[in-house]
């Protein structure tokens, strides 16, 4: 039975190497949970390892690693209190230009990996009447230009969360969605670098069509991250969702998420299109983009 105390219970946090995942693992351990913190590399685990935090090598797209985690939990007498599905990647590019391999990679990590680990651990969560915490995004309700793959996976995660909640809530398992806005983590910086790398591979015609847009979105992403909340604040919201006896179905993180998700709920599509274009207007480059992206292309091919 889920309780408000973590003593004697296990929580799994995926994507715990840095950012929100690492902060969540540390916060949960301070509340008495034993955290199985999923990391991709042993070095990340060494940095994270502490009292109450047990790093485990976990790529959620690798079935053998997911099964190894399930075996680790099955061998432990402590109940599984919660699964925090936090692992994710950010890959941005216009729908026309983003390679299909990147679309599949984004959905594999940001959606199918979460479904796979949830399926695997759900029997343990049903026994303990625990909960699933899915880390979505403001992009799960509002898709900016170049966010087609990322937002598409997050939209789908929101739908899967709704379906799962209606399936397992009568069985005693809570399903909660966390919707962060701008958060100061390394993920956004990596996303900008990936977007630039992919933009450098566009054809000259595609560069003419989308070069300025890509730069504007990257600039907006940089500014939004710089002004965003800390990963520690996001972790506090996740801990609340983990520990509250009767949690809400969704929690936003940051004022930007609360405002934009509310607007997405009430404004018509054309109004949202206008807001999106206006938010990007000041971020568009004042000089032609062809030279900039051509220099990036040279760097990629060299």
Calpha distance 186→63 (Å, rounded): 26
Q: What is the DSSP letter of 64?
A: H
Sign of CA dihedral 40, 230, 151, 102: negative
DSSP string, 93-125: --TTTS-HHHHHHHHIIIIIHHHHHHHHHHHHH
The tokens for 234 are 């996001």
- Compute how many other C-beta atoms are within 10 angstroms of the C-beta atom of residue 153: 26
Residue 147 annotated among the catalytic residues of the structure: no
Distance of CA 184 to the CA centre of its chain: 13
Contact of 31 with 16, CB cutoff 8 Å? no
Distance of CA 154 to the CA centre of its chain: 8
Calpha distance 243→225 (Å, rounded): 28
Calpha distance 76→172 (Å, rounded): 21
The tokens for 219 are 């600039």
> Within a 13 Å sphere around the CA of 162, how many CA atoms are in the beta-carbon half?
6
Question: What residues are annotated to the active site?
Answer: 150
């Amino acid at each position: 039975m889920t309780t408000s105390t973590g003593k004697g219970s296990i929580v799994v946090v995926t994507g715990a190497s840095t950012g929100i995942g690492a902060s969540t693992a540390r916060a949960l351990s301070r509340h008495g949970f034993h955290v199985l913190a999923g990391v991709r590399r042993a070095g990340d685990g060494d940095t994270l390892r502490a009292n109450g935090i047990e790093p485990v090598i976990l790529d959620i797209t690798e079935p053998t690693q997911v099964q190894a985690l399930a075996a680790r939990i099955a061998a432990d007498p402590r109940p599984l209190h919660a699964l925090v599905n936090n692992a994710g990647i950010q890959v941005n590019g216009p729908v026309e230009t983003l390679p299909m391999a990147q679309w599949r990679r984004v959905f594999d990590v940001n959606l199918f990996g979460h479904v796979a680990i949830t399926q695997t651990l759900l029997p343990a969560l049903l026994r303990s009447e625990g909960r699933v915490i899915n880390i979505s995004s403001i992009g799960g309700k509002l898709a900016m230009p170049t966010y087609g793959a990322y937002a598409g996976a997050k939209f789908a995660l929101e739908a899967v969360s709704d379906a799962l909640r209606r399936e397992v809530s009568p069985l005693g398992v809570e399903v909660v969605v966390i919707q962060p806005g701008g958060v100061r983590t390394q993920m956004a910086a990596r996303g900008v670098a990936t977007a630039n790398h992919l933009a450098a591979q566009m054809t000259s015609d595609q560069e003419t069509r989308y070069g300025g847009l890509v730069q504007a979105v990257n600039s907006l992403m940089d500014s939004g991250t710089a002004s965003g909340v800390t990963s520690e604040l996001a972790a506090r919201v996740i801990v609340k969702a983990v520990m509250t006896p009767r949690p809400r179905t969704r929690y936003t993180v940051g004022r930007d998420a609360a405002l934009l998700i509310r607007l997405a709920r009430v404004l018509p599509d054309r109004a949202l299109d206008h807001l999106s274009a206006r938010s990007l207007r000041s971020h568009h480059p004042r000089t032609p983009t062809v030279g900039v992206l051509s220099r990036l292309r040279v760097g990629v091919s060299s």
